[in-house]
Amino acid sequence: MTARGHRKPNATGRSSGARKQDRFNKISGPFAPRPIEMLESPAYRALNGSEHKILARLEIEFSNHGGSENGRLPCTFDDFVKYGIHREAIAPSLRALQSLGFIEITERGSAGNAAWRRPHIYRLTYRHTDDENPTHDWKHVTQSGQAKQLARNARQKPEKFNSQSRKPYQTQSRKPYCLSGFSGTESGTTSSSTESGTTIYISGEDAA
């Protein structure tokens, strides 16, 4: 048996110059190619397990669309969970994949009830769109330390929004009123309340 990639010998045992075509050089069924340069890149080597799974799930979605509509690929958080990604890991992983240049969210989704819920829409930067060649944004990350720092920063929770910075809400004074049959009048009172300071995380989980 000729090893894969070796040239096919002729009757004399010498190389014929033509590569042997056999079943070992073919892939049956749909497949998702990735450039070797990308697999060797600092950005790719900085990915964790959840980020690899998200890339794989988006490649499956691309295949489900017949290898077209890259840049218009919908994928819900539930889709990612069914593929084996922990729900809490999805938003940080998406941020890291964007920061390292593997995906682009072309349209942000929204959470809510079924009537208003919409998923994020994605583009894989290393695959072609219907109109353009791949942009390979991951090539902009050239150093291992740079890749690790970008991924680390992206995985952290976004900046906190402190509601204490908002202006306190003041209630209006109530006017005195009289009840029929009573001589007394309830004295007007003025009350003020300040919204309790709460911290809100802007997690990016704005899609179902």
pLDDT score, position 17 = 56
Report DSSP state, residue 180.
Answer: T
Phi, psi values for residue 101, rounded to 5°:
90, 20
User: Over its length of 208 residues, how does the chain's per-residue pLDDT go in tens digits?
Assistant: 444 555 555 666 665 555 555 566 788 888 899 999 999 999 999 999 999 999 999 999 999 999 999 999 999 999 999 999 999 999 999 999 999 999 999 999 887 666 677 999 999 999 999 999 999 999 999 999 999 999 999 999 775 434 343 343 343 444 443 444 434 444 444 444 343 443 333 344 545 5
CA 41 to chain centre: 20
How far is Cα 208 from Cα 205, in angstroms, rounded to an integer? 8
Asked whether the beta carbons of 141 and 100 are under 8 A apart, the reply is: yes
The overall pTM is greater than 0.75: no
- For residue 188, the model assigns a pLDDT of 43
Which residues share a beta bridge with 107? Answer: 121
Q: How many CB atoms lie within 10 A of CB 113?
A: 7
Cβ atoms 100, 151 nearer than 8 A: yes
In the prediction, which pLDDT does 33 show? 92
Give CA–CA dist 167/189, Å, rounded.
Answer: 22
User: In 3-state terms, what secondary structure has residue 107?
Assistant: strand
| Per-residue CA distances from 177 to 99, 171, 174, 184, 185 (Å) | 62, 18, 9, 9, 6
Q: What is the pLDDT at residue 102?
A: 98
**Closest among 133, 78, 75 to 107, alpha carbons compared:** 75
**Letter for the amino acid at 184?**
G
Phi, psi of 78 (to 5 degrees): -65, -35
State CA 119 to chain mean position distance: 11
